[in-house]
Amino acid sequence: MANTNNTYRILWRWHFYAGLFCIPFIMILAISGSIYLFKPQIENLREADYVTTSTSGVRTLPADQIAVAMSAMENAKFRSYRLPQNNQDATRITALQNKQSYFVYVDPYSLSVMDVVESDNRFIEWVRELHGSLLAGENGSLLVELAACWTIFLVLTGMYLWWPKDNKGMAGVIYPRLTEGGRRFWRDLHAVIGMWISILILFLLISGLPWTQVWGAGFKEVRKAITHMTSSDWSINKKEQLQTLQRQSRAYIPLSNEVYKKAVALDFASPVELSVSDAEQRIWKVSSRSQNMMLSQNAWLDNNGDIIKRNGFSDKALLDRIIGIGISAHEGQLFGWANQLLGVIVALGLLILSVSGFVLWRKRKPADRLGAPNKLQDQKLTKSKGVIVLIVTLAALLPMLLMSLIVIWVLEKWGFPKLPKVQTFLGLADK
């Protein structure tokens, strides 16, 4: 029993420190992530004004629409043409100018340019950057990855701390004691909600790792060794994205009506974009940009509209299909509005966990100390083999967690002992 209590106290300390570090990041990511779940609806609202006032005339040829769009931007290069979803939609042409991507909206009947929008200068892109990098570039991205790794640790240690140690009933375990006030109310709210959504939180954290810098870069190498493929559909940074845009915008051939009609007839999941795949061979690529990667499809057409090659989700490597399903669910697009609702529920649960954890901390925090559970003289986990295996496994699989554990160990071993006041404040003095 002594060893069990010792293990509990040690993990409680680590859970405390991890929570204190992660709470600000969790709240930012939960709010921004819940907003990004509704990207299709937000983008539809943003483009609601880009509709034609009259559809009684004759719809102009796609090549003419592209020509008008390109003439509106000096020295711009054509990137892609998005198929309109109905007769009232304006045509959206993506162009590259001075290493920046723009959306040009053209009335397909009057051939008037309705608007030019910098693609990165949109609310949903701001939310995406906030969620992925805290608007702080690569350094922010590393912080997000570090917080994600520690949140995985936080959830797993929380599950250990929650696990019932006696047979006194399910109150405070399966359901919270809402009628009791004070610290017990907040403790039950924190523990029970954490229990119910812990698996979903872990899924969101793990499915988001392919986007990260350190873990994502390592995963790319593993994927390359397994699938012998270098490009991926999910982990593309700004530099790689720009290089792709520049490569695909080097040359342009007029979009023939035959290619356009065939692209429409393919009936890919929207949004669907046409881009030049090979200008010399006059080959066009038709791509579904649906966030539900299970619906993703590509086709390559010659200038007469005949299919040269076609592939879809089922043609991808097994590893890519697994990652694609995870990312689609992460973004709330795998199974419609129910996926979005589930994402919002998890985000709300994360916010409640963060607030309740903060309240619990403030209720037990002394005025002169941080309030962490005191360090024990015997901090060994030698008899808790399962816990040791878990920590070692997490450290091996999450490089950012491993690096931060090393830093913490160095500070506790040689840094803080030289600062007794800091050591006492942090609760590192032996008890």
Average pLDDT on 83-112 reads 92
Which token pair is 258?
A: 């035959």
Q: Is residue 283 part of a domain?
A: yes
Average pLDDT on 55-65 reads 86
Which token pair is 393?
A: 């496994």
- Does residue 239 register a pLDDT over 70? no
Q: Is residue 232 part of a domain?
A: no
Numbers of helices and strands, H then E, in the chain: 14, 8
Which token pair is 274?
A: 């046409």
Tell me if the pTM is above 0.85. Answer: yes
pLDDT computed for residue 178 by the predictor: 76
Asked whether residue 254 falls in the same domain as residue 393, the answer is no
pLDDT computed for residue 59 by the predictor: 87
**How far lies 417's CA from each of 9, 291, 344, 420, 421, in Å?**
21, 51, 44, 6, 9
Asked whether residue 294 falls in the same domain as residue 244, the answer is yes
Q: Is residue 130 part of a domain?
A: no
Q: Is residue 256 part of a domain?
A: yes
Instruction: Give residue 58's pLDDT band: very low, low, confident or very high (50, 70, 90).
Output: confident
Average pLDDT on 182-202 reads 91
Which has the minimum average pLDDT: 213-217, 365-369, 379-383?
A: 379-383
pLDDT computed for residue 376 by the predictor: 66
- Does residue 242 register a pLDDT over 70? no
- Does residue 233 register a pLDDT over 80? no
* 309 contacts 326 by C-beta, under 8 angstroms: no
Give the range of the structural domain holding residue 206, as residue numbers without chain letter.
Answer: 2-21+141-213+339-425
Instruction: Work out the burial of residue 83: count CB atoms within 10 Å of its CB; fewer than 13 is exposed, 13-18 middle, 19 or more buried.
Output: buried
Instruction: Give residue 26's pLDDT band: very low, low, confident or very high (50, 70, 90).
Output: very high
d(CA 259, CA 373): 68
Asked whether residue 351 falls in the same domain as residue 413, the answer is yes
Q: Which pLDDT tens digit goes with each residue over 375-389?
A: 766 666 655 677 788
Q: Is residue 100 part of a domain?
A: yes
Asked whether residue 311 falls in the same domain as residue 343, the answer is no
Asked whether residue 204 falls in the same domain as residue 241, the answer is no
- Does residue 412 register a pLDDT over 60? yes
d(CA 252, CA 94): 13
Domain count, the chain: 2
Q: Which pLDDT tens digit goes with each residue over 12-21?
A: 888 999 999 9
Q: Where are the alpha helices (DSSP H) in 135-213?
A: 137-162, 182-208
pLDDT computed for residue 174 by the predictor: 84
Q: Is residue 185 part of a domain?
A: yes
- Does residue 240 register a pLDDT over 70? no
- Does residue 157 register a pLDDT over 70? yes
Cross-strand pairs, 93: 81, 104
Asked whether residue 254 falls in the same domain as residue 205, the answer is no
Q: Which pLDDT tens digit goes with each residue over 264-288?
A: 999 999 999 999 999 889 999 999 9
pLDDT computed for residue 35 by the predictor: 97
Q: Is residue 43 part of a domain?
A: no
Asked whether residue 417 falls in the same domain as residue 279, the answer is no
Cβ neighbours, 10 Å, residue 320: 19
Q: Is residue 41 part of a domain?
A: no
Which token pair is 120?
A: 């990165």
Asked whether residue 154 falls in the same domain as residue 295, the answer is no
Q: Which of 220, 302, 255, 340 is nearest to 64 (CA)?
A: 255
- Of the two residues 293 and 417, the one the predictor is more confident about is 293
pLDDT computed for residue 366 by the predictor: 85
Asked whether residue 305 falls in the same domain as residue 355, the answer is no
Of the chain, the percentage scoring pLDDT greater than 90 comes to 61
Asked whether residue 421 falls in the same domain as residue 345, the answer is yes
3-state secondary structure of 100: strand
The DSSP symbol for 150 reads H
pLDDT computed for residue 4 by the predictor: 61
Instruction: Give residue 1's pLDDT band: very low, low, confident or very high (50, 70, 90).
Output: very low
pLDDT computed for residue 383 by the predictor: 58
d(CA 160, CA 167): 16
State which of 279, 300, 315 marks the end of a domain: 315
Asked whether residue 399 falls in the same domain as residue 346, the answer is yes
Question: Cis bond leading into 271, ω under 30°?
Answer: yes
How does the average pLDDT of the chain come out, rounded? 88
Q: Which pLDDT tens digit goes with each residue over 105-138?
A: 999 999 999 999 999 889 999 999 999 999 999 9
Asked whether residue 57 falls in the same domain as residue 13, the answer is no
Which token pair is 115?
A: 């608007």
pLDDT computed for residue 365 by the predictor: 86
3-state secondary structure of 230: coil
* 94 contacts 82 by C-beta, under 8 angstroms: yes
d(CA 251, CA 27): 45
- Does residue 238 register a pLDDT over 70? no
